[in-house]
Structure 1
Amino acid sequence: MKLLALMAFIIIIANPFLSINPEKGDEKKYMREWWNIDAFFNCGKNFSVTASFEYERETPAANLFLTIFDHDSNKVYDLGAYEESIDKLIVEKNVVRYEDCWIKIGNVYEAYFERKGVELYIKLEAMAPMQKIAAGIASNLPFGFGYYNYTFISKCMASGWIKIDGSKSNFTGIGYYEHVYGNWSYNKPMRFFSGNVLKDYMALYKWWRENMSIDFKNFTIWTNNPFGYDWSWGFFDNGYTLFFGNIPFWIKNVPMGIIYLYDGKKYHEFKLISYEYMEGKYYNGSFFPTKFRIKAIDGGSTLILNFEMKYKPHIYEDRLSSHYWKNLILYECPGTIYGWLNGSKSIALNGKGEIEIERQNSIFDYALLSISLKFPYPFGIELYFLSYLLKLSLSMQLYLAPPFFNFSFSKIG
C-alpha cells in the first residue's frame, strides 16, 4: 500500500501531461484559450453582443461564439461556428482570426465579424485596469482537476457600427474584455491534475475558510459540479461595473465565488457568502437559474444583488465523448442586475448585464437533496429531493414540537 501511495504521489508531482507543446510557429500554447468581448449599445435599437474566439486542443477544435441580442424585438442572432477544424483559428501575437472575423489585442481592442449576412465592427477602449482573478490568493485557478488563468477589464467605452437586417448604423455603448487560458479537460478530468493544482486548491480553501461561514442547519447536496459556472458582467447607472463568477460544488453550502466591483477608481474584491436560485428552467438534463440572489462581503461592506434574465436565451450544447459525462450546456441571456451596497453609506445599484450559466451534466442528470434542521422551537426536520432523471420531486416535514407530519410529491419537467 505504501508503494502504491508513493507511486501515486510521484505521478501527481511529475505529471507528464502538464506541458502542451505546440508545433513550431503555432501560438496555440494551451489546452484551451479564448478571447472574449461583451457590449451593450444603442443604434436606434437596443442590442447586446457576446463573442469569443476560442480553441481547444482536446478534440481538437476551434469555436467562434457570436451571439447578438435584439432587446427591443426579443430576437437572438446565433452567428457562431462550433467544433470547426482547429486550423481555422489563426493565433498571432496581437491578432486572432477566424475566416473573415478577427480581434486585435493592444491598448485598444478592436474586433470585426461578418457572419450570415450580419456585419459588426466594435472598438473597446479600457476605462478600468486589467484585473486577474484571485491574484494574491493562488498562482492559478483550478478548473475541475486542471488549472487556468483569468484576466478581464470590466469597463470599456464601446463604439463602432453594425449592419443587420439590411440596415447599417453607428453606435456607442459600454463593453467588457477578457482573456482566459489554461490546461484542463472535460472528457478526462484527471489528465492535468498535479501537485500545483492541489496547492492552488489548498490556497483557495484557506482563503475560503477565512472568509466564509456555513450554516449546517441547512444542508444541500446536488449534481452541480466544478466543471460548470455562474457568471455575469454588469454595469450600473452610477458608473460602477461588475464581474461575478461562481464555481458550484457538489455541496451547495460550499460557495466558491468572487465579485469585483469597480467604482471608477479601483476594484473592490467581495467574497461570495451565499447565493439562492429563485427561478429557473430545466433543459436537457440540467437546471439553469434564470433569477438568483447573491450576498457578498468586503471588509465592512455588504453587497446584495439580484440577477434576472429578461430576454430569449441563447443555448449552446456540446455532447461529450464520455461514458459518465453526457453534455456541456451554456445558457446565456442579457438581463437586469439590481441591489445595494451597504458600507459607510448605502448605495443603490440598478443596471444591466450579460448572465451566463454553464453546466456539465452526467448520465444521472440534475438532482438535489436538501436537509433543514429546525430547533429549538419548532423542533423537527425538513427534507426535499428532486431528480430530473426520475421526473419527480419529494418533500417531507417532520416536527416533534409541535407534532406535525407532511409528505408530498410531484412530477417535474
Structure 2
Amino acid sequence: MKKITTVAVLLMLCACGRLQGQTDTQPLNPGDIVPDVPLQLVNFPQQQERLSYFTDELVILEFWSPHCLACAHMVALLDSLQQQFDTRIRILPVSSIQTTLSASDIKQFIKGYKQRIPGGFSLPSVVEDSILSKLFPFAGVPQFIWIRNGIFKLRTDDVTTQYIQDVLHDKTSDIKTAPTRTYYNIDTRLEDFTAGAMNAATAYHLFKGEIRELYPATGFVKDTINGNRIVAVNSSAGGLFALAFDAPVPLYSNRIINQTGEARLFDDLVFSDSTFNGPFYNYEFTGNAGFAALRKQMQYDLCHYFKIRASVEKQVVNSYVLTVTDTSLLKTSGNIEGNSLYEPITGDRVMYNQPVSVLVQRLNRLYKLPVLDETHLAANIDLRLPNDLLDVAAVNAMLSKQGLLLTKAPRPVEMFVLSAATGCTK
C-alpha cells in the first residue's frame, strides 16, 4: 500500500463575512448576505445567469466533481429531492476551477449519465466557478451550502429530506453542520490540539475522541524536528489497524476474518455503501527509527488499547476469478466514460470506457467470496450487465458474450485477521 507523506485533507471551512453589493470575494459566515454573483451554466437553457435568477425560497449549492464517487452516487438523490420540493428549492451542483474540470468535461459527464439513465441529471450545473468557491471555501467534496432568501444559513456534508424541511421551517439546530477545521501541522504534536496537553516526553499518544478542529488524515511523515512520525488524525479503529498492519484500505468484507465479536468497531474497514459515523480516534508516535519500527510500536499500542490482535495472512480461499475468454469481443466506443453499477435503476447496467477494475470493485462490495482480476487488461472496455449483480449466473451469461468469464476457484488471498488478544508483545 502506498503511504502518504503529507496530510490528507477532507473538509474545510473558512470564516469572515461580507455584505451583498461588495465586489471582493472574502469567505462568508452563516448569517451573511450572499452576493449576487454571475454563474456560468450547463444543462440549462441559458449559459449565463446571476445567482438572483434562482428566486426559490431555498438554494442549495453542491460543490462536487464527477471524479468523486460519492458525488456521482448522489445525482439520483438530488434529482428526486428537486422533484419532491419543486419550486420551493433549487439545487445547483457547482464545479469549481480548483477541480481543474472544464465546462466541456461536465457536459460530457452529464451526457454519459443521461445515456445510461434516461431522464437523469435534471439539475442545471454551475461550471468553471471562481467566485462561489471563494465565498464558501472547501477542500473536499461533496459539500453543501444552504442559502435561504439570500442569506447563508449553514454548511453540511449531506442533504436529506429532513434537512430541507428543517431549513424551510427555520429548525436548523438539530442539523449536523460541517465542522470548522484547520490543517494538521506535521511539525507540531497532536497534544497541541487536545484539551489537556500530554508530557512532551511521552513516546506515543493515543486518545479517544474526535478532534473536530482538525481534518482527518493518516500516514507516515518525515518530521524534521522530531524524527519520523506515524500519524492518524480523527481515524476510526479500523483505519488505525489498517495503517499499523499495512492492510489495504478500503478493505472488502470478503477479505476480513473477524474473530473479536466487535464487528461494529470495524464496520468502516469494509468497503460498503453505508456511512461510518464513529467513534474516531487520534494516534501519534514519533521516533528516530524507520517506519517499519514505528509500525511495530503502533501494533503493540493498538493491541494494548483495544485488546485486539491483528495480522495480514495469505490464505487459500474460494474466490471468484475473472478471466478473458475472447479478446476480440472486448471493445470500447471511447469518449463517454461512466457506469451505472451503483445507481438504483431498472433494466441492464452498463460500463462505458471503464477499466475492468471498476467491475471487480463493485462485485467485491457485493459478493461474500473475494473477486480477483486475472484478465491482465490494460485498456478500458464497455460492458453490459444484468440489473441484479448478485445473480452470478446471470452476470456470467452476459459476460461470456463479451469475452469475459467469472469462475469459482481456490486462490491465495491476503486476509486481514482480527482476534481477541490475551497478551501483547512487541
Higher strand share: 1
Higher helix share: 2
More contact order relative to length (CA 8 Å, sep ≥ 6): 2
From the CA coordinates, give the structure whose radius of gyration is larger: 2
Q: Which of the five TM-score ranges fits, normalised by the shorter chain?
A: under 0.3
